[in-house]
Every structure is written in C-alpha cells, then in structure tokens.
C-alpha cells in the first residue's frame, strides 16, 4: 500500500521533471515574480517603508542634500544549470543608481547593507524578498504607481544578462 503511494509520487516527480526539461531553448537562468515598491515623487511626507532604511543611510550615494527617493525590487532567481551562479549587478530605467542589498540584524536593529553578489545555487533558486536580499533603486527618476512596470537588467557572474519587466505593487 505504502509502496504504491511512493511509486505514484516518484512517477509524478519524474513527469514534472521531464516536463521541465524541454529540449528547445531551455533557459539557464530565469526570473519570476518580479515586483517593485511604489513611490510617489514630489510628496512632502515620504513614508518610510517598513523594513527599509531612510535615505539618510544612503548618504554616500546621494549628491543632493535632500536625498533622492528610493524603492526596492524583489524577484525569484532560478538557476537551471549545473553550475552555481550569482547576480552581480542590476540596472533599471527608473533609478539613477541600483545596488544589491541585504538586510541584517545589527544589535537588534534591521540594517540594509550593500552586497557584492547574490548567490544562485546550481539547480536551485534565490528569493529576493522584503526583509532579505533586494535590489535597491536609488534616486528614482519617475513616479512608480501600482500597475506601472519597471525594467530591470540583471547581470550574472557567468556573464549571462536578463532583462525583466517588474510590476509596481504594494508588498
């Protein structure tokens, strides 16, 4: 009885696996669920998003005394190749400066830190999500309303480059 269930599960997994391994144009690296936090430009009171740090912490990146408006992009990276890879750079049509960040607890305070790269394991995935790794959009150049889209170009350690369209939406 138990054995039969096991067989059923195994064959189902096998089916899923063969379904993924389409011989034509199999994407080595894929991006899914890409989204960006909305921002309103020109509003006097810019609410600070929970879990993120205010512009003051980004003083080094802002030449303007008032500081630019920031947002963050999140997505899931999948690596279908047998080799580990890493996201090493990102750029966007909606921000002057784009950095890769992580959120760490430092003396029980959440702080954002730039990181060199975000690892994507072989045959695995990495999630960029609130409270963890994210793509920081610094000096956002236009209003980002829910429903808008933001282009993100992602460069990987392997040299692969992907451009994705991220939807602006509330967390």
Site for Cu ion, rule CB under 5 A: 101, 112, 136
**Nearer to Cu ion among residue 30 and residue 119 (C-beta):** 119
Specify whether the CB–CB gap between 75 and 164 falls below 8 A. yes
For residue 18, give the 3-state DSSP assignment.
helix
In the bound complex, what is the minimum distance in angstroms from residue 77's beta carbon to Cu ion? 17
Closest approach, Cβ 115 to Cu ion, in A, equals: 10
Identify whether the C-beta of residue 84 lies closer than 8 Å to the C-beta of residue 122.
yes
* Smallest separation (angstroms) from Cu ion to the CB of 130: 10
CB of 137 to Cu ion, least distance (A): 9
Could you give the CA distance from residue 65 to residue 100 in angstroms, rounded to a whole number?
23
List residues bridging with 102 in a β-sheet.
Answer: 113
Nearer to Cu ion by Cβ, of 83 and 117: the residue is 117
- Nearer to Cu ion by C-beta: 86 or 103? 103
Cα three-residue angle 129-29-136, rounded to 5 degrees: 35
Name the DSSP class of 47: P
Q: Between 29 and 112, whose beta carbon lies closer to Cu ion?
A: 112
């Amino acid at each position: 009885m138990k054995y039969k269930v096991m067989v059923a599960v195994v064959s189902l997994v096998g089916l899923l696996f063969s379904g993924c391994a389409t011989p034509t144009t199999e994407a080595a690296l894929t991006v899914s669920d890409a989204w960006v936090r909305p921002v309103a430009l020109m509003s006097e009171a810019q609410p600070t998003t929970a879990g993120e740090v205010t512009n003051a912490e980004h003083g080094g990146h802002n030449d303007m005394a008032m500081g630019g408006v920031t947002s963050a992009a999140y997505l899931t990276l999948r690596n279908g190749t047998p080799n580990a890879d890493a996201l090493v750079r990102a750029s966007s049509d909606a921000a002057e400066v784009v950095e890769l960040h992580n959120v760490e607890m430092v003396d029980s305070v959440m702080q954002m830190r730039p990181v060199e790269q975000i690892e994507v394991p072989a045959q695995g995935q990495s999630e960029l999500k609130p409270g963890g790794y994210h793509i920081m959009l610094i000096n956002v150049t236009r209003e980002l309303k829910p429903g808008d889209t933001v282009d993100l170009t992602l460069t990987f350690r392997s040299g692969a480059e992907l451009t994705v369209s991220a939807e602006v939406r509330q967390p």
